[in-house]
Amino acid sequence: MRLEGKVAIVTGAGQGIGKTYARRFLDEGARVAIVDIDAGRGESAAAELADSGEVAFVQADISAEESTENCVRQVVERFGQVDVLLNNAGIYYDMDYGDQSYEYLRQVFDINCYGAWLMSKAATPHLVERGGGSIINVSSTGAYLYVKNSPTEFSGISSYAYPWSKWGVVGLTKMSAGELGRWGIRVNCIAPGVTVSEATRKQVPEDRIAAITAMSALKRTLTPEDLTGTAVFFASEDSALVTGQMLCVDAGVVMPG
């Protein structure tokens, strides 16, 4: 029960890895606000997890400032406090890799990068009131894979929408940690490798997953549950003096210094 007495907001928790984070936080004693843009999905997840602890669903569009502020306000009204923000929501399962337009690039950044900033902006005044807390951002090991198979004929520069946005999350983590530390707020980042979830199976072929597993030092395929221990560490007092850090959880494929 490493999170007993804490209230955690988990964005994008209506399904997949986000819901798995929420379940583990509940198992560790936290009260959890499930945040998702899809009301049906979020309500279903909250109902599914209700037996695990005190959980509530709050609908929000994390790319809209007013929505994020209203979201955090509802959480405080419901639970009385906020101690942990896990910025998990992102465009992934519905990525359109064929769309290299500027408009789509902006859409991906609005969710994956700016959305994390907006949620952090809305939550930090309440964390300051509590005398500190933890913000956990979710990047991706894709941010560290710089070489891709290029076409033989030049057709223009790519947008790099997903990995670029996830690299931005790492920068946001470090800048936020440097600013917020004096108020006792720790900001850290998880960079998961390819994790076998329903969303991943829509995007990554089985043979590609097998190849990534073969490349890993531990020769293991990641599941959503494999990521939750790192999130609990960052959310708990076990990481009381850890901030501004990015931790890859990928069985040893990417090992940045």
> Is 162 part of the annotated catalytic residue set?
yes
The helix or strand, by DSSP H or E, that contains position 118, with its residue range, turns out to be helix 114-129
Alpha carbon of 245 to those of 80, 115, 216, 256: distances in Å?
29, 20, 22, 12
Cβ partners under 8 Å of residue 34, min gap 6: 10, 13, 14, 18, 19, 22, 42, 45, 46, 49, 55, 56, 57, 58
H/E element, 136: strand 133-138
**Partner residues linked to 31 by β-bridges:** 7
Q: What's the order of all strands across the beta sheet hosting 7-11? A: 55-59, 31-36, 7-11, 84-87, 133-138, 185-192, 246-249
**Dmax over Cα atoms in the chain, in whole Å?**
58
Please name the amino acid found at residue 70: N
State the catalytic residue, choosing from 21, 114, 144, 162. 162
* Residues with catalytic roles: 162
